[in-house]
Amino acid sequence: MTIAPEAPTRQAPAFLELEITGKCQLTCPSLCYAKAGPTEGHGDMTADDWKRLISEAAEIGVEKVQFIGGEPTMHPQFEALVHRALGSGLAVQVYSNLYRVRLDHWTLFAHPRVSLASSYYSDVAEEHERVTGRKGSHSSTRANIVQAVKRGIPLQVGIVEVFDGQRTAQARDELLALGVRTVNLDRVRSVGRGEVHMPSTADLCGRCADGRAAVMTDGTVTPCVLGRFLKTGNAKADGLKAVFGGQQWADTAASIPRRSAPTAGCTPADSNDCDPANTEACDPAYYAPAPTPDLGGTA
């Protein structure tokens, strides 16, 4: 009698994006995939819901979580959620616009298992602020990038090309000169405020659901923050284990076209954490970090 081999056990993703809030100081009128802004809320997931989810994530094999938004530091329980993740043995990345950073948050970011990610759009204030919709955001974000490097906090920065003629190459050169060691370039994806056509899997990098997933502010689980139109279940209602072990997750993952090398390691838009870090972007080309002067920190 022939015995059919057992089906492979579905593994939880190693990397999980937690979109804990839609609130943000910036408006990014033609970019934000989450449609975040100053008037948005924190969603249906309570702090206790997020704490349970973080604990479950660690139990099922997630290795790293990224707190993202909106601006994650604006969530009233941001620090408590980061500490829950660290206490559960998870590595943490905070994706912040670095527009405003509280003094106690610098202490939190300096934890050895915490890293930072941010976005930067131009070396010229007017261009950066055209993207963010907020006067003064360029100088604030740049100053806090410098501060992160000075403090030796691991930092990666994404540059998204939003409009023709944008000084993205100059922004990259500036960041490298400031001591940022990981800089990713990308274009706007047709999601959220960047939508120019109905979102589809063609807008994704080809690595969503491949070792990564995201949880939205209402508990919805998607293949990544840019794949938010592909709903695969709800962690608040059912739990992560049930979602990742379910047929809907498997079917959704199978529906995303995989790209062949060398673009298989693409980091889409400004999530910048597929691998995480130091991976090639599928479109446009990723500019590998060049050797930079030692400015007193690492990134």
pTM tops 0.75: yes
Question: 189, 195 in Cβ contact below 8 A?
Answer: no
Q: For residue 231, what pLDDT is reported? A: 85
Q: What is the pLDDT of residues 216-258, one digit of tens each?
A: 999 999 998 888 888 899 999 999 999 999 999 999 888 888 7
Question: 299, 149 in Cβ contact below 8 A?
Answer: yes
Question: 120, 145 in Cβ contact below 8 A?
Answer: yes
Question: 45, 237 in Cβ contact below 8 A?
Answer: no
Angle, alpha carbons 49-53-55 (nearest 5°): 120
pLDDT at 202 over 90: no
What is the rounded radius of gyration, in angstroms, for the C-alpha atoms of the chain? Answer: 19
> Residue 52 half-sphere exposure, CB side, CA atoms within 13 Å?
13
In whole angstroms, give the CA distance from residue 80 to residue 64: 16
Q: For residue 254, what pLDDT is reported? A: 87
> Residue 73 half-sphere exposure, CB side, CA atoms within 13 Å?
20
Interior/surface letters 23-62, b for 16+ CB within 10 angstroms, e for the rest: bbbbbbebbbbbbbbeebebbebebebbbbbbebbbebeb
In whole angstroms, give the CA distance from residue 112 to residue 127: 34
In whole angstroms, give the CA distance from residue 126 to residue 136: 9
Mean pLDDT on 166-187: 95
Q: For residue 298, what pLDDT is reported? A: 30
Mean pLDDT on 32-39: 80
pLDDT at 133 over 70: yes
Among candidate residues 259, 278, 274, the one with its CA nearest the CA of residue 209? 274
Among candidate residues 91, 63, 12, 45, the one with its CA nearest the CA of residue 253? 12
**3-class DSSP state of 205:** coil
Average confidence score pLDDT of the chain = 82
Is the CA virtual torsion 245, 247, 252, 258 positive or negative? Answer: positive
Q: Which CATH architecture has domain 15-255?
A: Alpha-Beta Barrel (3.20)
pLDDT at 281 over 60: no
Percentage of residues of the chain with pLDDT beyond 70: 79
